[in-house]
């Protein structure tokens, strides 16, 4: 294992690559989850852990810097929101006056932008989390207990300003920060032991296979939105134990995936390009929806719909991860802007 604390670990990029595939696939199949039970069951399985994995990866690579927070995270959120606002006004033709005005539409995250919004708040807690981590495992466990307690308590409040998900998903981010040394060692151990790869992989296949089967055997449509998204206050069948199970499932599944697939370098390249894919896949999805593509697929048999979802989702990922798009994005992303600001400040 590298002694450089800032060294990039391959398994993190691999998990980010897998995570972004599941994020895009989940969004593209959401339109069909009530019409086709196999798609609905797959959707529920994915949503049990895919954002947990993504949040943990963000925690694993997090390093506190107030300058970085302002010039990269806040800046990227502002630029992203401006792009989304223009898209909503020109393509989706939204009436912002009816939803609180243009300023509110710019400040509050649109759909998937909640994640960049949440990262700004989470970053502010990094000094405390890293201090607890550096004090040793007992303090890391104490920090995780506090994060989980905060997340569970927050479900009692219907938060304004889109803060619901900020609180709900925070324990996953905190887990990635607090247990980075242990997760690194898990990856190192799995790399030298076939059993550490095969056992978690087998457990994932069996557990999620059985859960998928139980969903398929349920009568009627599958409606588990509140228990999946965890972005609403408790009520209407959604309670604190549901969120607690969500935390446990997300963390255990993510650790099992790191052990089982941490050496699968096929996802590593994509993992380095997740930001562009995450930012722009939702406008593509919304554009398809505006054109009526999804409505046409609703009228087709299940095999045709499945192929449609896969082709659209994978095509979107391939386009946004392609060299022309990624190079253009790298040329104008927040890091480049931050470097310009840094040079100006030095002068």
Burial-class residue 208 by CB neighbours within 10 Å (0-12, 13-18, 19+). Answer: middle
Tell me which range, 62-76, 252-266, 331-345, is most confidently predicted by mean pLDDT. Answer: 252-266
* b/e burial code for range 274-286 (CB count within 10 A of at least 16 → b): bbbbbbbbbbbbb
pLDDT at 108: 94
- Say how far apart CA 64 and CA 128 lie, in whole Å: 10
Higher-pLDDT residue of 80 and 230 is 80
- Say how far apart CA 289 and CA 241 lie, in whole Å: 35
Mean pLDDT computed over 76-84: 92
Q: Are 22 and 271 in contact (CB under 8 A)?
A: no
96 pLDDT tier (thresholds 50, 70, 90): very high
| Model confidence pLDDT, tens digit, residues 121-174 | 999 999 999 999 999 999 999 999 999 999 999 999 999 998 999 999 999 999
| Model confidence pLDDT, tens digit, residues 263-313 | 999 999 999 999 899 999 999 999 999 888 888 888 889 999 999 999 999
340 pLDDT tier (thresholds 50, 70, 90): very low
Q: Which residues contact 318 (CB under 8 A, 6 or more apart)?
A: none
Higher-pLDDT residue of 226 and 70 is 70
Q: Give the residue from 263, 253, 252 showing the smallest Cα distance to 194.
A: 263
pLDDT at 246: 96
Q: Are 261 and 17 in contact (CB under 8 A)?
A: no
Mean pLDDT computed over 1-26: 79
- Is the predicted pLDDT of residue 223 greater than 90, yes or no? no
pLDDT at 131: 97
Q: Are 17 and 269 in contact (CB under 8 A)?
A: yes
Q: What percent of the chain has pLDDT over 90?
A: 73
pLDDT at 244: 96
- Say how far apart CA 80 and CA 213 lie, in whole Å: 40
pLDDT at 5: 42
Beta bridge partners of 238: 235
- Is the predicted pLDDT of residue 226 greater than 80, yes or no? no
pLDDT at 236: 83
pLDDT at 150: 97
- Is the predicted pLDDT of residue 337 greater than 80, yes or no? no
Mean pLDDT computed over 231-240: 89
Q: Where are the beta strands (DSSP E) in the chain?
A: none
- Say how far apart CA 16 and CA 254 lie, in whole Å: 11
Higher-pLDDT residue of 328 and 63 is 63
The mean pLDDT value of the chain amounts to 90
């Amino acid at each position: 294992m590298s002694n450089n604390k800032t060294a990039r670990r391959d398994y993190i990029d691999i998990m980010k690559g897998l995570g972004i595939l599941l994020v895009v696939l989940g969004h593209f199949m959401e339109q069909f989850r009530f019409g086709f039970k196999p798609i609905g069951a797959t959707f529920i399985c994915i949503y049990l852990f895919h954002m947990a994995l993504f949040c943990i990866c963000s925690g694993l690579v997090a390093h506190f810097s107030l300058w970085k927070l302002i010039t990269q995270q806040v800046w990227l959120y502002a630029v992203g929101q401006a792009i989304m606002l223009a898209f909503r006004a020109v393509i989706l033709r939204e009436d912002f006056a009816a939803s609180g005005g243009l300023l509110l539409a710019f400040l509050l995250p649109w759909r998937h932008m909640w994640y960049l919004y949440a990262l700004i708040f989470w970053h502010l807690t990094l000094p405390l989390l890293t201090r607890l981590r550096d004090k040793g495992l007992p303090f890391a466990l104490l920090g995780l207990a506090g994060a989980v307690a905060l997340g569970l308590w927050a479900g009692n409040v219907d938060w304004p300003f889109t803060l619901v998900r900020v609180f709900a998903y925070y324990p996953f981010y905190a887990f990635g920060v607090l247990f980075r040394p242990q997760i690194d060692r898990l990856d190192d151990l799995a790399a030298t032991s076939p059993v550490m790869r095969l056992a978690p992989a087998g457990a994932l296949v069996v557990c999620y296979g059985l859960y998928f089967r139980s969903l398929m055997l349920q009568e009627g449509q599958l409606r588990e939105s509140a228990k999946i998204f965890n972005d609403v206050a408790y009520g209407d069948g959604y309670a604190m134990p549901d969120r607690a199970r969500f935390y446990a499932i997300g963390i255990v599944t993510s650790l099992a995936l790191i052990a089982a697939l941490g050496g699968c370098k096929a996802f590593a390249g994509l993992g380095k390009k997740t930001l562009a894919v995450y930012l722009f896949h939702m406008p593509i999805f919304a554009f398809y929806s505006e054109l009526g593509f999804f409505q046409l697929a609703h009228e087709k048999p299940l095999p045709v719909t499945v192929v449609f979802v896969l082709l659209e989702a994978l095509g979107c990922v391939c386009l946004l991860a392609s060299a022309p798009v990624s190079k253009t994005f790298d040329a104008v992303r927040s890091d480049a802007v931050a470097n310009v600001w840094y040079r100006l400040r030095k002068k």
